């Protein structure tokens, strides 16, 4: 039994909707349903009454809900206690960061921060977007860095979380150049001549954004999905090998562009994203939040942009 099944189950009990909970948990509805079914298989009984709408729990589900809330609260309290001890000793700022940002934006940003905070100690914990957000909600990190696009806003209530915009990021399609340096493919080729598409796996945040944008212009129809992975580094490596085109963050391909290992695909859409940082508001924070994290946030407030809530 996995802890996330209990978290999914609690979410379903609160929203009474599989689709709404799947969105809040940053997974597809089929994947969310499978996780609830896995929990039911573990419990050996139905936990959800699927014949009713809105969705209701069965009597067994109500019993498990009470236990699940207690279990998750105890786990969170234990984790906070352990991290409180660790931080009091080391004064480390914990960052939860999606994988792509961890290898593209974060290193350069951290290098700049160290000019202002030479004694800054940090710990980077790389996850997918859903799990990174969950770390902040659980109180198991100080700060969350993540992308933002209007088509898929991060489900954090800005009544309880502070948020700043650190910068902008652009995503577009790249591929290996031909011998003369020009791109081997072009966007909008002749009808029926589909482009080999190196895609993000289903549910990956950047994949959701890319597909949402391309669906609006029917550009997905010209792409042949030949490969997929959750990791942008994997897509970049395959693109360098000439296996197709991949939508990648500009900050993550500067070296490849300089060495002429990748080139932008002419005519491909350019997608603008924000890079945001979040923290729990002081009134919501656990006492274990480190003093360096507070000092760092005060510095960022002077240099970053406060974004308006879209939720």
Residue 225 phi, psi (nearest 5): -70, 100
Instruction: Indicate the pairing of strand 223-229 with strand 195-200.
Output: parallel
pLDDT tens, residue by residue, 280-299:
887 655 545 667 888 889 88
CA pseudo-torsion sign 94, 99, 103, 105: negative
Three-state DSSP class for residue 230: coil
Query: Which pLDDT does position 289 carry in this prediction?
Result: 60
**Of residues 215, 255, 212, 213, the one with CA closest to residue 233:** 255
More confident of the two residues 304 and 260: 260
Residue spans of alpha helices (H) in the chain? 3-15, 18-24, 29-43, 59-90, 99-103, 105-116, 129-138, 205-216, 232-240, 254-258, 291-303
Greatest alpha-carbon span in the chain: 69
> What is the distance between the alpha carbons of residues 104 and 251, in angstroms, rounded to a whole number?
6
pLDDT at 105 over 50: yes
> What is the distance between the alpha carbons of residues 67 and 60, in angstroms, rounded to a whole number?
11
pLDDT tens, residue by residue, 189-244:
665 678 999 999 877 899 999 999 998 887 788 899 999 988 889 999 999 999 99
Please report which helix (H) or strand (E) contains residue 143, including its range. Answer: strand 143-148
pLDDT tens, residue by residue, 6-60:
888 888 888 888 888 888 877 788 888 888 998 988 988 899 887 777 888 889 9
Average pLDDT, the chain: 85
The string over 89-123, giving b where at least 16 C-beta atoms fall within 10 Å of a residue's C-beta and e elsewhere, is eeebbbbbbbbbbbbbbbeebeeebeeeeeeeebe
More confident of the two residues 31 and 169: 169
Residue 180 phi, psi (nearest 5): -85, 0
> What is the distance between the alpha carbons of residues 14 and 22, in angstroms, rounded to a whole number?
12
Interval 254-269 mean pLDDT = 93
State the first-to-last Cα distance of the chain, in angstroms, to the nearest integer.
33
Please, what are the domains in the chain? 3-72 (1.10.10.10), 88-167+274-303 (3.40.190.10), 169-272 (3.40.190.10)
pLDDT at 308 over 60: no
Interval 90-103 mean pLDDT = 87
């Amino acid at each position: 039994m996995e802890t996330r099944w209990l978290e999914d189950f609690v979410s379903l009990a609160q929203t009474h909707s599989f689709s709404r909970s799947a969105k809040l948990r940053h997974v597809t509805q089929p994947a969310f349903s499978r996780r609830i079914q896995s929990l039911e298989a573990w419990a050996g009984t139905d936990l959800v009454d699927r014949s009713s709408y809105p969705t209701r729990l069965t009597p067994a589900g109500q019993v498990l809900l009470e236990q699940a809330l207690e279990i998750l609260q105890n786990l969170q309290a234990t984790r906070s206690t352990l991290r409180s001890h660790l931080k009091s000793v080391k004064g480390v700022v914990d960052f939860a960061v999606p994988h792509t940002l961890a290898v593209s934006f974060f290193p350069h940003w951290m290098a700049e921060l160290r000019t202002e905070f030479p004694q800054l100690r940090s710990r980077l914990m790389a996850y997918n977007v859903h799990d990174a957000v969950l770390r902040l909600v659980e109180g198991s990190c100080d700060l969350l860095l993540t992308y933002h696009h209007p088509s898929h806003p991060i489900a954090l209530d800005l009544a309880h979380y502070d948020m700043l915009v650190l910068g902008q990021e652009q995503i577009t399609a790249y591929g290996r150049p031909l011998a003369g340096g020009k791109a081997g493919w072009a966007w909008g080729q002749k009808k029926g001549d589909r482009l080999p598409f190196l895609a993000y796996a289903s549910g990956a945040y950047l994949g959701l954004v890319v597909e949402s944008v391309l669906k609006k212009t029917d550009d997905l129809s010209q792409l042949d999905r030949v490969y997929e992975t959750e990791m942008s580094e994997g897509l970049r490596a395959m693109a360098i090998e000439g296996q197709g085109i991949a939508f990648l963050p500009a900050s993550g391909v500067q070296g490849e562009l300089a060495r002429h290992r990748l080139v932008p695909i002419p005519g491909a859409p350019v997608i603008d994203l924000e890079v945001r940082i979040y923290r729990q508001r002081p009134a919501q924070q656990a006492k274990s939040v480190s003093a360096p994290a507070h000092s760092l946030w005060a510095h960022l407030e002077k240099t970053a942009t406060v974004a308006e809530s879209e939720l």
